[in-house]
A and B are shown apart, each in its own frame.
Chain A
């Protein structure tokens, strides 16, 4: 076995990921584990998540379980590492047209929606609704890992708590590793066991 710490199957691992003039970054999240990433705006948090999802050119390796990012077509990789952006865009006329498989009613109910939300007009969604439905849209695809870019930044406290709980449940139930970018120390303490700070183009572990 290689001399890196052995991780259970389904772990998410970045090894020497580098982009633009950032220094290579390495970290891992075990199956079902959530690690938090924070740093000032402009420190490259979103760029790091984009590299992990293979949305930007980058160096280094990203592993999910025993599969490396470049070993499969990019769309397949992105379906496995579910990326939730800070603002989820909606482009079709009807909300339901954005879903491949329709979401289960219990997921919608936990997010505070009836089933008929799928017939709503996308253009009439509020910022918070767009974000909560964006989470539903992502989880419907059953991602094996979660890359979360300030998922609750545009939500009121009540909705944020619901979203946090749903994400934590999902990660535990599916044994999905999660990388959670959050500027809120209290949130990081609630959701993540370990935290990393991005500063001066380098990533360092700072404990919980």
Chain B
């Protein structure tokens, strides 16, 4: 069983829907026409390129090519972590924190899944390794970006309270305690919600893809369950690590709140 081939004609027809939406936005002055069209074009170009990259990666089969691809994905994700933050860390610390936390969590979980659970031959088989790592990185990136954004903004708004607690002799981690917990909780909610409604409200993308490709629904479900469990663990651990690093960077060695380590918007 093979999947029905899509021609440029069918893709163009789907693109016409987005163009129509952009037209409505222009007419109504909604201001989303430009970002919508740019994002759709980026998506199409990026995916076409990655299609070519994956094709040659699958043909080459070398472990170093897989490693190179994995690092490129990590780099792009680390950059995106800071892209939409309200208050970023000065001097590339945001990227470094994101990269460190994602490397420690996503790579560990992906290697565990490949080497111990799925066990393709060889374990770094790109047809398994790249999609699994990609899903882990994508979800962990969103969670970390959300958590750090919440944390830095809260630290900025609650500076008087944090400093009052420092002045009473609380160490940095205690003085910011509740704010760090709030950041972790709110960044974990999308992952928890997605798992809670999986299969009821939405059919997850990977499972849908496997079913479209002609795999038995039972097999697709098993993979989807595995992936969601990996994502939940990877997101959670990655975010906890990122928040720990971010808290450390918000203070200095003398437990002073250092908001000058952040760039304020405008």
Q: CB within 8 Å of B: which residues of A?
A: 53-57, 70, 73-76, 78-79, 83, 85, 87-89, 91, 137-138, 141
What is the CA–CA distance of A180 and B104 in the complex, to the nearest angstrom? 50
Quick one: which of B149-163 are within 8 Å of A by CB?
158, 160-161, 163
Given contacts A54-B254, A73-B255, A74-B255, contact A89 B167 (CB under 8 A): no
Asked if B167 contacts A74 (CB within 8 A), the reply is no
The stretch from B16-24, B64-72, B168-176, B229-237 touching chain A is: B168-176
**Interface SS of chain A:** loop
User: Are the CB atoms of B167 and A83 closer together than 8 Å?
Assistant: yes
CA distance in complex: A85, B168 (Å): 11
Known: A75-B170, A75-B171. A91 touches B252 (CB 8 A): no
The verdict on A76 contacting B169 (CB below 8 Å), with A55-B163, A88-B164, A89-B164 known, is yes
Please indicate the chain A residues that have their CB under 8 angstroms from the CB of B168 in the complex. Answer: 78-79, 137-138, 141
The CA of A183 and the CA of B257, in the complex, are separated in Å by: 27
Contact call B166/A75, Cβ cutoff below 8 A: yes
A134 to chain B, nearest CB (A): 8
Q: Max chain A CB contacts within 10 Å: which of B168, B252, B256?
A: B168
Q: Do residues A89 and B161 form an inter-chain contact, with CB atoms below 8 A?
A: yes
Contacting residue for B256 out of A54, A70, A83, A85, CB 8 A: A54
Residues of B close to A55: CB separation below 8 A: 163, 166-167, 256-257
Asked, given contacts A55-B163, A85-B164, A89-B160, whether A74 binds B256 with beta carbons under 8 Å apart, the answer is yes
Instruction: Scan residues 13-71 of chain B and give those whose CB is less than 8 A from a CB of chain A.
Output: none
For the side of the interface on B, what is the size category? 10 to 19
0/1 interface trace, chain B 229-265, chain A, CB 8 Å (1 if under) = 0000000000000000000000010111100000000
B161 in contact with A78 (CB, 8 Å): no
- Chain A residues within an 8 Å CB radius of B163: 55
Given contacts A54-B254, A57-B252, A74-B254, A79 and B164 within 8 Å (CB-CB): no
Bound-complex Cα distance A111 to B147 (A): 42
Cβ contact of B167, chosen from A73, A76, A85, A87, cutoff 8 A = A85
A79 / chain B contacts, CB cutoff of 8 Å: 168-169
Most chain B CB within a 10 A radius of its CB, from A53, A75, A79, A88: A75
Do A91 and B255 have beta carbons less than 8 Å apart?
A: no
With A89-B161, A91-B161, A91-B178 as contacts: A53 and B167 at CB distance below 8 Å: yes
Q: Can you list 27 pairs linking A and B with CB atoms under 8 Å apart? A: A54-B254, A54-B256, A55-B163, A55-B166, A55-B256, A55-B257, A57-B252, A70-B254, A74-B166, A74-B256, A75-B169, A75-B255, A76-B169, A78-B166, A78-B167, A78-B169, A79-B168, A79-B169, A85-B160, A85-B167, A87-B160, A89-B164, A91-B158, A91-B161, A91-B164, A91-B165, A138-B168
